Amino acid sequence: MHNNNLIRAEPYSCPALFQFPQPPLPFQFPQALRLTQTSASSSSRARTRRSRAAMYTLTPRCHLPPLRRSPPPCQAALTTTTPSPPPSLSSVPSRADPDELRSTWPQRAWTLAGSAAILSSLSTSASLVAAGSGSPAGPLAAALAAYSLADLATGVYHWLVDNYGDASTPVLGPQIAAFQGHHRYPSTITRREPCNNLHALARAAALALAPADAALSAAGAPAGAHAFAGAFAACVVLSQQFHAWAHEKRRRLPPGVEALQDAGVLVSRAQHAAHHRQPYNTNYCIVSGMWNGVLDRYRVFEALEMVVYFRTGIRPRSWDDTDASWMEVTGADVAATATAGDDGSLQTASISSDCD
């Protein structure tokens, strides 16, 4: 017979030792800290209701922006590469071949023709003075004026071919390429034979002066006009020789040339050396250099460059100091080219200095 008095399960009350206290009231923290309350995950709401407990974390407050995470450190890999030749050495004419420095018969012929035209004009002036058509003072003054104007003309021409055009430019292309090659190898001009150095300007004198002198004679021009034409042409043609002497070492100059340079009659070595230094836009005149101070002080060529730029949009080479055509090739450049595996076409002959 079963006992009807069933045992009733009383709810078990946990002793005080095992009872969890209620979370305390929020604590008043300093302003540098803030109290944030985070709740348990909401994935199981029933479990959260049975065991909800407020968890408190302290988070410091700071006025500074959070730190940026730095990228992971770079891992350097050691590789071996073959350096290529510097672009500056390959973008301009290379050093002249020794055969290119010698005079050819056509060059001698043109130099002779130009010299004959100059002498003819000067002799015409002298014959007119001898015939009593004027005093010698007139032709002498005209010759001095031509000497001064020739210095200015060579400066303008030098500025033009230094800054504009290239080897493909009609008529002036060879002269432009030659001047750019001269900036790379300035001492090469000192090793050129005279007719090799003067024939281009002598050809221009032969083609222009002979008909001009004939026209002056036909017009009955005075002796001073012939003297001016002859002296101007002579100074322009010889300006390339004066230019070469400005690059020559002092001990190799012909007798008397150094004295003329020191007196300012011919462009000096020190003055022209400034043209081959940055910013490469001064001392363009190469007869006597008398105009260099005025042109540079008043920035005449810089003003012309601005006019050309605003009219045509063409920038002169002197505005770019890193243009390879301005940089002189030194022994270090040649060594770097040899290290890069160059075929040696630039040759390793040292560049002579103007500081002897």
Residue 149 lies in a domain: yes
| DSSP H stretches of helix in 185-276 | 194-218, 223-247, 257-263, 269-273
Residue 237 lies in a domain: yes
Count CB atoms within 10 A of the CB of residue 187. Answer: 18
Q: What is the DSSP-derived secondary structure letter of residue 134?
A: S
Q: How confident is the model at residue 314 (pLDDT cuts 50, 70, 90)?
A: very high
Which range scores top for mean pLDDT: 31-40, 172-181, 263-272?
263-272
| DSSP H stretches of helix in 54-193 | 87-90, 105-130, 137-163, 173-184
Residue 261 lies in a domain: yes
Give the side-chain half-sphere CA count within 13 A for 148. Answer: 7
Residue 343 lies in a domain: no
Strand pairing of 33-38 and 55-60?
antiparallel
Question: Tell me: the pLDDT tens digits for 180-229?
Answer: 899 999 999 999 999 999 999 999 999 999 999 999 999 999 999 999 99
Q: d(Cα 209, Cα 39) in Å, to the nearest integer?
A: 104
Residue 143 lies in a domain: yes
Q: Is the pLDDT of residue 112 over 50?
A: yes
Domain of 266, in residue numbers: 92-330
Number of independent structural domains in the chain: 1
Residue 27 lies in a domain: no
Mean pLDDT of 262-267: 97
Q: How confident is the model at residue 235 (pLDDT cuts 50, 70, 90)?
A: very high
Residue 72 lies in a domain: no
Residue 23 lies in a domain: no
